[in-house]
Structure 1
Amino acid sequence: MSILKRYISIPLPYRVGVAFLLGVTFGLVLWYYDMANGSNLGQGVATYVSPFGAVLVRMLKMVVIPIVFFSLIVGSSGLSPKKLGRVGGKVILWYMLTSFLAAVIGVGIAMFVHPGQGVAVDVEKLGSSMEEGGPSITPPSGLTDLILKMFTNPFEALANGEFLPIIVFALLFGLAARVLLDHTQNETERKQIQSILDFASGANSVMFKIVSWILEYFPIGVFSLAVVNFGLYGPSIIGPYLKAVLGVISGIAIMVFIIYPILLSLILKENPIDFFKRAKEVMITSFFTRSSAATLPVTIKTAIESFKIKKELAEFSLPVGATINMNGVCIHLPMWAVFATDVFNIDLTVSSLVIIIITTVLSAIGTGGVPGGSLMLLFIVLGTLGLEPNQIATIVALALGVNPLIDMFETMNNVTGDLCCTYIVAKKEGMIDE
């Protein structure tokens, strides 16, 4: 077996983790050397190394709009009102409710720990290669402004780098296409609409393939970014990193081991321990695959065989959940949003926090099943705060190194939430095979 094949055979999270640790070590060695000798070696190395990390950040930004746009069209067009019915509607409501709760928890913990406090990041110091061209985004000044911005011309939004109107347009486009397919009697019109949806589905598959290629570049980019960040800022950045990581994991633990058990106890009057015993295979599988979509066969099998959920509900609800129910992501994104406001001294009002929650819930719908998809959504959430493009790139660069670790926990949260919501609806609607 060649060295390249051996390298590729190693699971990606391990490759990224090792690259991050090596980058941290090398960066800290440079920083301590500069401190001991009064030199500027770290800045010099950063000049040559940072382009490799900048390429990764730019590649993520390159794919974020197309993958969110096509994923939302495919996902929303699959929600047929005829197929959905009353039970399907309840499933969607439960998914949106738990996503909202997760986002509130994420914001609450982030505001409690303030992970970016004490970090002074100079984007100029990181080197010009990290700076992203493009227009800055004016943040919504309140809820009314946010609602108005949702319905901006999508092409104007695309030119201005505004993500939220694109999300809303894609959702409406997919839903409108589905309604027309269900009700039109014109066979020619039906074929035309179906061809558009087939194109969106094919384009979505192509984007997933491009993302898989980008993921293979992750170790190189993460190594570069770790060297630059720790070489320039030294051990002072370790504390904020730990606060961000532990804050997200704590939020996920609250969601999985407190919120879900409370829902099961209050609504179904069941012992939550029994739920976790039956769901453990799904939770373990999702933790290591880091993909809701990859875990889906195991999730459906567990739902039908262990939870006795009727097949027709499991095969509808769980694939939908893998697309739109991103509870872990809804905890993760607010942490880095607050991190950014701490670093760049942006005042957060109540309206700003509500905007973060709404944007997080809406944007999280768009990357279901993509390993590391939350990183792409950072561009969307940070954009609503009015950060400059180079500031957004800097925060994404800081988040990249620890994302594979966080991604394992958030995917486990996502899939557990899918199963919990589906089980609640199944029990309440009598869709359990006794």
Structure 2
Amino acid sequence: MIRSLFKLYISTSLILRIFAGFIIGSAIGGIIWYISSSSGTPIADNVLPYISPFGSVLISMLKMIVIPVIFFSLITGAASLPIKRFGRIGIKVIAWYFFCSALAAIVGAVLALCINPGSGANLQGWQKMAESIGTQAESFAVKAPTSGSFTNMLLNMFKNPFEALATNNFLSIIIFSVLFGLAVRVIIESKKNSKQISRLNMLLNLLLAARDAIFKLVDWILEYSPIGVLALSITNFSLYGPNIVGPYVSVTIGVISGILGMIFIVYPTLLGIVTRQNPFRIMKGMDEAMITAFITRSSAATLPVSLHIMQEKLKVKSELASFSLPLGATINMDGVCVHLPMFAVLAANMFNLHLTISGLIMLVIATVLASIGAGGVPGGSIMLLFIILQTMGLDSTQVSIIVALAMGINPILDMFETANNVTGDMVCTYTVAHNEGLIGK
């Protein structure tokens, strides 16, 4: 019986398991909250000590793996950028990807400030929830500099890398990893010292092997995540009941609105300005890849469709499409860049944090830089959420609360985010192709 249930669990799609865990957990938690509220009996206090540890395990495993994921994925991602392979055009492709990611992060931040998710929500008792999840209030990272100290924030980006790893200074880790990876790539492509290049290729292969092993650990953690999401959902809803629905709804609407805005307003505007053509005719040719990305939730799985569309329908030369689209699947995460500021503002409202202009700028920078190489990371948006929340200066307890909220609705948002990521890849590729005369007849 147990073996049959385990086989059924493993054979079921991960997204269905996570979503089922969220729905079932929300229902059970809501029932516990209703009974506790109507009878005056603190059922949650008696039940949660037996349930919440399963959620604690998921949060702890994510914390365990997030630093290695960031370190290895960013170094290998930056070191794998073919800086000289496509010369000036390659640099232009990369620049377009960074520009669109920054634009998406700005759209997400502005929309988040307008929607203001979590404002007025009756979640003042979040400390009790943190205790039930099993986290402690110890600092998980060096807090971000206080408002008004933009210079200090810039200095905080360039810390001793070993100190940054020991203190979980995410922004400093990101900067060092990207610069280290770029240094490796520049030396490899210089072709001046064969022995040095050979050693660096060995180092890069070792880092890639370590990254693959880390990703396998992430896969194992994700296999457990439906159980953790079930426990976290029971915890959330048994403590807050309908009060927690507001933040869920506002964040979901905000992220989906931002992504639809990117796809139907921002991208067509960019295409219209650059190409002087009807942008919606171009976007119409991309619809098959958008739908595939939405259904599969995988940029890599959509890549064959994207390549076919760009080369056959939109007539982009294969030498550009075959270089640009795989690169975009790795470094361009526009949908996630919309998603992350929404949770950042939710966190600010829940914990009464004041987001300054300098803080928002650092938020955008961290979002864009963190997206490099994270496209291939399983559950990448959750990993990046850790980075953003730590950049804001949240402690371990507060990070756990926001991640617990995000895990429940992540499967829904991930479909929209992947569609946005793939669309952004194709839009950037088409604009460069148009500028460089790489579109056939």
Residue of structure 2 equivalent to 1:138:
143
User: Which stretch of structure 1 is more off in the superposition, 128-137 or 268-277?
Assistant: 128-137
Matched, 1:409 2:416: yes
RMSD, aligned α-carbons: 1.6
Equivalent position to 2:51, from 24, 49, 52? 49
- Of 278, 286, 289, the residue aligned with 2:285 is 278
Show the counterpart of 1:65: 67
Deviations 1:290-348 (A, max 9, x none): 22223222222222222221111111111111111111111100011110110000111
Q: How far did 1:134 drift?
A: 4.4
Tell me how far 1:82 sits from its aligned partner.
1.8
Show the counterpart of 2:244: 237
Q: TM-score, normalised by structure 1?
A: 0.96
Q: Trace 1:268-417 onto structure 2 (pairs within 5 A).
A: 268-417=275-424
Once the two structures are superposed, the pairs formed by residues 415-426 of structure 1 within 5 Å of their partners are 415-426=422-433
CA distance in 1, matches of 2:143, 2:218: 29
CA contact (8 A) 1:67 1:366 kept: no
8 Å Cα contact 1:313/1:426 also seen in 2: yes
Cα distance change, pair 224–376 in 1 and its aligned pair in 2 (3 A): same
The one-letter code of the counterpart of 2:73 is: S
TM-fit CA distance, 1:201? 1.1
**Identity, % of aligned pairs?**
50
Alignment: residue pair count: 434
Q: Tell whether 2:267 aligns with 1:260.
A: yes
Task: Give 1:28's aligned amino acid.
Answer: G
Q: How does 1:165-244 map to 2 (within 5 A)?
A: 165-244=172-251
In the alignment, the residues of structure 2 paired with residue 369 and residue 4 of structure 1 have an alpha-carbon distance, to the nearest angstrom, of 27
SS at structure 2 position matched to 1:20: helix
Q: Does structure 2 retain, via aligned residues, the 8 Å contact 1:75–1:320?
A: no
Looking at structure 1, the residues matched to 71 and 335 of structure 2 have their Cα atoms a distance apart, in angstroms, of 21
User: Quick one: distance in 1 between partners of 2:108 and 2:238?
Assistant: 30
State the one-letter code of the partner of 2:365: I
Whole-Å separation in 2 of the counterparts to 1:403 and 1:388? 22
2:35 to 29, 33, 36: 33
CA deviation after TM superposition for structure 1 residue 4, in Å: 3.3
Range with bigger deviation, 43-52 or 221-230:
43-52
- TM-score normalised to structure 2 length: 0.95
SS of corresponding position for 2:286: helix
Question: Do 1:286 and 1:415's aligned partners in 2 also have CA atoms closer than 8 Å?
Answer: yes
CA distance in 2: counterparts of 1:121 and 1:89, whole angstroms: 48
**In 1: Cα distance, 2:136 partner to 2:303 partner:** 38
**In 1, distance between residues paired with 2:371 and 2:110?**
18
* Range 14-23 or range 413-422, more displaced: 14-23
319-328 or 289-298, larger mean C-alpha shift = 289-298
Q: Which moved more, 1:171-180 or 1:267-276?
A: 267-276
Q: Following TM superposition, by how much is the alpha carbon of 1:2 offset from its aligned partner in structure 2, in angstroms? A: 4.2
Report if the CA contact (8 A) 1:134-1:161 is conserved.
no
Query: Deviations 1:238-275 (Å, cap 9, x if unpaired)?
Result: 01110011000000000011000111112112223322
Which deviates further from its counterpart, 391-400 or 290-299? 290-299
SS in 2 for 1:137: coil
Q: Which moved more, 1:289-298 or 1:380-389?
A: 289-298
**Post-superposition shift, 1:186?**
2.9
Contact 1:30–1:42 at 8 Å: present in 2 too? yes
**For residue 136 of structure 2, what is the amino acid of its counterpart?**
E
Judged with a 3 Å threshold, the aligned counterparts in structure 2 of structure 1 residues 400 and 132 are, in CA distance, closer, same or farther, namely farther
Deviations 1:366-420 (A, max 9, x none): 4113343111111111111111111111111111100110011011101100000
Q: Which runs of 5+ in 2 are unaligned?
A: none
The one-letter code sitting in structure 1 at the alignment partner of 2:61 is M
SS in 1 for 2:100: helix
Matched AA of 2:89? V
Residue in 2 that maps onto 1:116 = 118
**Paired AA for residue 312 in structure 2:** E
The counterpart of 1:12, out of the listed 14, 23, 29, is 14
SS at match of 2:169: coil
